[in-house]
Each structure stands twice: as C-alpha cells, then as structure tokens.
Amino acid sequence: MLNRIEVTIRPELEDPIGKSLSAQIKDDLSITCKSVRVVDVYTILAEITPEELEKVATELFSDSVIQIASINQHIKFPQEYQHVVEVGFRPGVTDNVGKSAREGIQDTLSRNLKPDEFVFKSTMYWFSGLSKENCSQVAQKLLANELIQHWKVLSYDELSNQKDISLLPIPLVTEKTKTIVETISLNLSDSELLELSQKRLLALDLREMKAIKEYFENPITKKHRTALNLPEYPTDIELEILAQTWSEHCKHKIFNAEIKFEDSNGNYTVVNSLFKTFIKSTTDKLKSEIPWLVSVFHDNAGLIDFDNEHLISMKVETHNSPSALDPYGGAITGIVGVNRDILGAGLGCRCILNTDVFCFASPFYEGKIPERLLHPRRVLRGVHAGVRDGGNQSGIPTVNGAIVFHERFLGKPLVFCGTGGIIPKKINNKLAHEKKAYKGDLIVMIGGRIGKDGIHGATFSSEELHEGSPVTAVQIGDPITQKKLSDFLFEARDR
C-alpha cells in the first residue's frame, strides 16, 4: 500500500531554506524568484493504518508549532506558486533519510515493518515568479544531480489534474537479476587489451594488462587452475580484484615509482619512491630522535603520545574525483571514510575532531564548464555541506579548515579531509596501540547496505575524469549507521 506524507513550514512563517534558495538562484543563475516554499516528502510503501499514518505524520515527521503535515494529498499553496519541482533519488541509490525514516516509523509504532516495506525521501519546491523553463533550469543546475537523482516539473494546474499522488516513479528496485559469472578471454591484441581495460573501468595500462595476460597464459597457471576446476582465463570478479588491488587509488603507484628527474643543467637524479624517500625515511629518522611517535606506517592511522594517560591519532586523505561528480556525496563519503581510519587505529580511537582543506576554481568563474562537470560554486557548496553533515550526524565537530581558489582545480577539486581521535594508552591492561589477528578470528561486516552507488570507486578514482565517467562510482556515506557502529565498537572494546 502506497502512502505519502508531505511536511512544510506553516504558511504564516518564513521558509528559511526557501529564502536561501531564492538568493542562490539569483546569484548562480541570474534569475529572480519571488518566493520558494520547500516540502519534505515521505513516500511509505507499507501496510499501515490511517491511525498509524496520522501518528507518524504528527509525532515523527512534523513539529506542529512551526510545521503542517498532509497525508495522501498535496499541501495547498496560493496560486501565485505556479510551478513545483520534485526531486528524489533514482532506484538503487542509497537513501539515508528514507532509511532513518523507516527506523523512526518502527520506533514510533512500536512494531517492525516487513523486509519488503520501504520509505523513500524526496523534496518538493514550490516556486512563485518562475516560468516552467526557469524551473527546469533551476532543477538541473541547482536542485538535483542527474547522476543519482531525477526530478519532475509541473504547473499548478498540471498537478491539480494529476490522478497519481506521486510526481516521480517510486524508486523501488524491481529488476530481478541472476548471478552470472563471466569468463574474460585475454587472447587479445594490445589495442583490444586497452579497450577491455577502458570498457570494464579497470584503469590498468597496457603493461599491466599484458602482465595479467601472461600470468593466465602461463602453462603452470593453466595446470593449477584446471586442478581447481577453474576456467583458463580469469572470471570477471578475478579481473576486478586485480584492477582494484593495482589501482592508483589503492596501490599509490606514482608515489612508489622510480622517478628520473632532469634539472635545468641536464643533471639526472633518480628518486626511488617519493613516499619512501621523502615521507617514510624522514619520519623514521625523526622516530629515532623523538620519543612520542608510538605507531606509524603500519596501522589505519598514526598514533602519538598526548599525555601520561592517552594517545592521539591523526589521519588525512583526499576524495577528489567523487566530489567532482557529486560534491555532497563525494565529500560526506570522504569524511566518514577517514573517520573509520581513526576508529580502526590501535584498539579503536574515539573521533573527537574533523578538519579540512578545500581547493576549487573561483566561485565567480564565468568561462565554459567541461561536459559532466559542475560549476565551482556548486562544488564548493556541496563539498562544504557534505563534510559538515558527515561530522554533525556522527557527533564529530569540524574545528578548522581552509579554502584555496585556483583555476587549475576546475577539472578536479582537492577535497582534503582529516580526523583526530583519542584513546587510553592501556585498555584492560593491554597496550592500546598493539593488536593482532589470530587464526580462527571471526570477521564481522557492519554498515549500511550497498546501493548502486560506489561501484568501481577505486578504479574510477585512479584515472582522469571524462565524459564516460560512471554514474555509479560515487558512494554515498552513511554517518548515522557509522555512529551506531562506533558506539558498538567502544562498548565491545572496553569489555
């Protein structure tokens, strides 16, 4: 059974989100909009009684002091609001608010929903003073990201005459697929090997593809695979594993490469790994001279002395390519990802702060934007919001940051996210920076369910952005689930 709850600010009150959006439309698109009213929409695909719907609408989704709610009918606005845009996620894309809303319904009603009952979140924007064409422009350039969202624009009359309460198709994944394992032949020419790498988004160069080919065509390998009842050539998942493991994102091939440098006088210098030469060796020298470096280069994050009772941990990393295509999703995934490195340092550090450095092209850039890229102003807003929300929803404050503007960041921004954490030096009489995995240990996988987002993230991030960069490569982080995970981790750690 399909039900819809709409929630908005009371008509006699100012809509702060709508007011901010009006200013943004004028600044970014040079379009004057009289007014915008924003409506939160919860589409509930579940068996739920009218009484339960009323309870959920009034007790969970709305605050009667400042908001009104409507069940299974659209909230009525004055006719000066001539057009409405609704924006929602595409099927299979992670919907964190929808998932949280589902959990909230279960808590409010004190009963569980069935596994095949869902809640989907979307947003309606009512515009006064904009044409339908203007609304479409606003939807495409400001409200939605076509990689993960879809939208619909209707006039006041069109919505009134529409029989279906939903503007958008329900983003339910109905496609039934069978698990198919492909065998990928490597009996290919050099050009065909490169084409295979590009087609399957392996991000491997010709030398790497030829190395894989030579391995699988080696008689010893063939004999071994035959004994294991495996096909002669790799399966699709074997090839994907190799591509992920060898990706620039995971392997840092450039940082670890041998680099020959010629200066202006024609003198050659050979650097055997930028990482080993300029980062690790420097730290190793310092470690022999200072006593407070406790753990470096072999855990999820470094650990150093803070006081007589505690260690602190610090980690920073970038999330550039994802943030170029989906600024909010890329940035929120970046910050919660580095949070996990702190949670995984030693026996588990508690995250206490986030920090960041962002590098963008000028927000006032007026030149041509390459295909599939977003205006720097939109990237800035989305990245800032993603890092902010990732921290706020996890209970981790962002204590400082910096923004740098330069035209070279138009093609790909630099989104540098960092997290600091703290841990007692000893937990249950064990040194907190030491840990081991033993034979027979169980591995538990915890987190939000995987959607269509995030597939090929490592290999996609290892190549240059282009018009064919995949729509599914940007994962959408889930800070609320991660907060639950961290609470569980500390309770288990301290037992």
Catalytic residues: 249, 319
In whole angstroms, give the CA distance from residue 275 to residue 293: 18
In whole angstroms, give the CA distance from residue 360 to residue 413: 5
Q: Which pair of structure tokens corresponds to residue 145?
A: 């990201």
- SS3 of 266-313: CCEEEEECHHHHHHHHHHHHHHHHCCCEEECCCCCCEEEECCCCEEEE
Neighbouring C-beta atoms of residue 49, cutoff 10 Å: 10
Which residue do the tokens 């590098």 mark? 359
Q: Which pair of structure tokens corresponds to residue 188?
A: 């290919």
What is the widest separation between alpha-carbon atoms in the chain? 83
Sheet of strand 350-360, all strands in order from the earlier edge strand to the far edge: 293-295, 302-305, 310-318, 414-424, 350-360, 398-405
394 SS3 class: helix
5 SS3 class: strand
Q: Which strand (E) or helix (H) includes residue 118? A: strand 118-128
In whole angstroms, give the CA distance from residue 410 to residue 396: 30
Strands 414-424 and 350-360, sheet pairing? antiparallel
30 secondary structure, DSSP code: -
Phi, psi for residue 163 in degrees, rounded to 5: -75, -40
Residue 152 one-letter amino acid: K
In whole angstroms, give the CA distance from residue 94 to residue 451: 5
CB of 274 within 8 A of CB of 309? no
154 SS3 class: strand
